[in-house]
Chain A
Amino acid sequence: MPGKGHILVVDDELVIRSLLSEMLSEDGFSVATAEDGRRGLECIRQGGVDLVISDIHMPVMDGPQMLQELKRTDPCLPVIVLDSIPDRSVAESQAESADACLSKPFNLQELRDTIGRLHGHLDTLRSITGMTE
């Protein structure tokens, strides 16, 4: 497993899953994908996920529902939400528990920067919790 971290991509769109897998693998992350919220949660419960990138509108279990569940089990896990609705206010209210929100179509560099920021933040957080432990 490459050292940079493990990222879970949850999106019902195949093209988004494959694009992000391609990009993140190139950047040195290990990537897991899920088609909907429920499968995403299953992956997270298996452990080892450092960051989640999730769509909002998905069948079976959508983004906000998954986020709710996720924050209950692992409140520290950073989540980036990708939304495709132009009305930001709706998207933001739906993903208010997310750590960052990007709208489709997104810029790859912007996504990288957000991942870097959140990942660094997670590292700091983990080192602090590790120290206290």
Chain B
Amino acid sequence: MRMRFGIRTKAIAGISALLIMLAVSLMSLSLYNHNRGIRAELLKRGGVSAENLAYNAAYPVLIGDTVSLVDFIGGVLAEKEVLYVGLVDSDGRVLVQRCRDGMETVMERALERDLRARPRSPNLETSEHFDAIETRDEAGHDRIIHFHSPIRLKSDRDSELASEFGLYSNQLGPQTPEAHEEIVGFVCLGITTQHIDETIAGVRNKMIWTTAIAIFLAMLVVSAVVRIGLRPIHELVAATRRVASGDYSSKVREERNDEIGDLAVSFNKMTADLKSSRDALVEKELLEALVVELRETQEQLVQAGKLAAVGQLAAGVAHEINNPLAGIMGYAQLLSEKMRRKKDQGITSDDVGRYLSYVENMEKQSQRCKQIVQNLLKFARASSHEEMELVDCNDSLRETVSLIEHQLETHHIAVTMTLAPNLPRVMGHPGKMQQILTNIIINAMQAMPDGGKITITTEQQPDAVVLTVADTGVGIKQEHLDKIFEPFFTTKEIGQGTGLGLSVTYGLVHDMGGEISARSKVGEGSAFAITFPIAQSRAAAEQGESGAPVASRPVQ
């Protein structure tokens, strides 16, 4: 499994690595410089000792004053770094040699090496007065620096002057180029680096410890700073998780005046936007569900409204059909009674004439029944999904009026029809057309409870047919006029009307591509105008195909 490191861990690790690298580099540089300094100091000291000894030992060597030489050597050996000191004359004889305990071998080898031929390399330092090489001791632990300084005897004047004043130093000023000098021997001096190595090691350890502690403290500080610095990001991450789990109310602090503060502001804004769009979405879904429900309910109610219209019609139809039926049944019974009575007596021609009139009456009434049934069938077809066909508005009006004529008469309503001749046909459903007209005429009738006049006109416009049904009824108030086609709008008392009649009519008119409008004046009456587009193109096409005038509705 792959390890997952947070941004905090990464930041701390990165910064710590940088810190460590920096600290170690600085420490190394510092140590290097320090070591060099100490070492240079040691070399200088050793060099000066060898040089001084060589200078002071010039005359004692010349005159073989070993007592003085032993004194000099003792003084040099007092230095703690000095391991051995030896003085050799120009003939290669060792005049004096002293060393610390255990350093005899080292000293002998050094003298031997210097007597043979001092190697020029590796030279630590070479000057006019001495040169130095470095070796390790037998154990290989400590380093030893061997100094080799020639003992020079200067010119006589200088030497005399020097002996006169008893000065053995080289502090007499620069030597003149013409000064004569002679090498009478050399000084061998070995010093150990043990002490400076110890010092260096001590300093190094201190520096390592100091650096380590500094790094540790710095890491603590870095960790704290990173933790504090990244806290808003952690808060943001936590807030993001909450938002993802659906909690849109969570906010992050915006107090910081930097990029993270900007991020917090953006995040809060985004969450708010998300919340509002989620709310809008939920609301929209709810609304859509409601709309679907409402539409279903409306459809059911429209269906109910259609049924109500059919029911309203049924009373009128029953009246219409029961009258001719009563005639047929009555005449039939009368005929059978008479024929039965006259059967034995013999039927006269007068009787036959009377019977014929009965039968004619029966036939006439049967025709009426047939017509009513046909009209009803057209009406019933409105509820089924019939195909659009060419409809003659004048015919539809006549049929509708004949269907409800009796009802109109009963309500003391006179109907005047002014129908335009040769009215073009429109595309529509004959049944729906009849339902529309029935609804509008019955609506007009209901607007005139004390009777009145209905004027029905048809007229042709350039590309439409207009049917107008005007009444002399109570009229519709202006503020109601805009609402009369809305479902459930009714001015009738509760239970008197569904308020669906006109809205159903409106729907049916629109189904056939028509328009319906109303104008009214309270106390004078209302007029409903229905406009249907003329079925020109279709009619022309059909005419063109068949080459004959378009047939009217199929005979039933």
Contacts and interface: CB of A to CB of B under 8 A. Distances in A.
Nearest to B337: A108
10 contacts: A15-B323, A19-B330, A19-B331, A19-B361, A22-B334, A84-B323, A85-B318, A105-B329, A107-B329, A108-B330
A95 B283 CA distance: 58
A82 B325 CA distance: 13
Interface string A4-37: 0000000011011011101100100000000000
A105 B334 contact: no
Contacts, number: 76
The 9 closest A-B pairs by CB, nearest first: A15-B327, A84-B322, A104-B326, A105-B326, A59-B409, A104-B322, A105-B329, A105-B325, A19-B330
Contacts of A62: 410
Given A85-B315, A108-B337, A59 B410 contact: yes
A114 interface: no
Contact of B361 (A15, A26, A103, A107): A15
A108 B333 contact: yes
B347 to A, nearest CB: 15
A59 B364 CA distance: 23
A59 to B, nearest CB: 4
Nearest to B365: A15
Contacts of B328: 105
A57 B324 CA distance: 15
A104 B337 CA distance: 19
Contact of B327 (A19, A60, A87): A19
A87 B314 CA distance: 10
Contacts of B338: 26
B36 interface: no
Given A16-B323, A85-B315, A59 B412 contact: yes
A13 B323 CA distance: 7
B319 interface: yes
B334 A84 contact: no
B346 to A, nearest CB: 18
- At the interface, is chain A mostly helix, strand, loop or mixed? loop
B410 A16 contact: no
B334 A13 contact: no
Contacts of A87: 315
Contacts of B326: 13, 15-16, 19, 82, 84, 104-106
Contacts of A57: 319, 406-407, 410
Interface of A: 12-13, 15-16, 18-20, 22-23, 26, 57-60, 62, 82, 84-87, 103-109
Contacts of A22: 334, 358
B406 A105 contact: no
B361 A18 contact: yes
B334 A23 contact: yes
Nearest to B319: A84
A23 B322 contact: no
Nearest to A58: B410
A104 B321 CA distance: 9
Contact of B324 (A15, A20, A103): A15
Given A22-B358, A106-B330, A108-B334, 20 more contacts: A13-B323, A15-B364, A16-B330, A18-B361, A58-B409, A59-B409, A62-B410, A84-B323, A85-B315, A85-B318, A85-B319, A87-B315, A104-B322, A104-B323, A105-B322, A105-B325, A105-B328, A105-B329, A108-B333, A108-B337
A16 B320 CA distance: 12
Nearest to B361: A15
Nearest to B324: A15
B306 to A, nearest CB: 20
Contacts of B325: 104-105
A72 to B, nearest CB: 22
Contacts of A106: 326, 329-330
B327 A16 contact: yes
A18 B331 CA distance: 10
Chain B CB count within 10 A is highest, among A16, A59, A86, for: A59
A58 B410 CA distance: 5
A76 B338 CA distance: 33
Nearest to A106: B326
Contact of B330 (A12, A23, A59, A86): A23
Contacts of A108: 330, 333-334, 337
Nearest to A59: B409
B333 A107 contact: yes
A15 B322 CA distance: 11
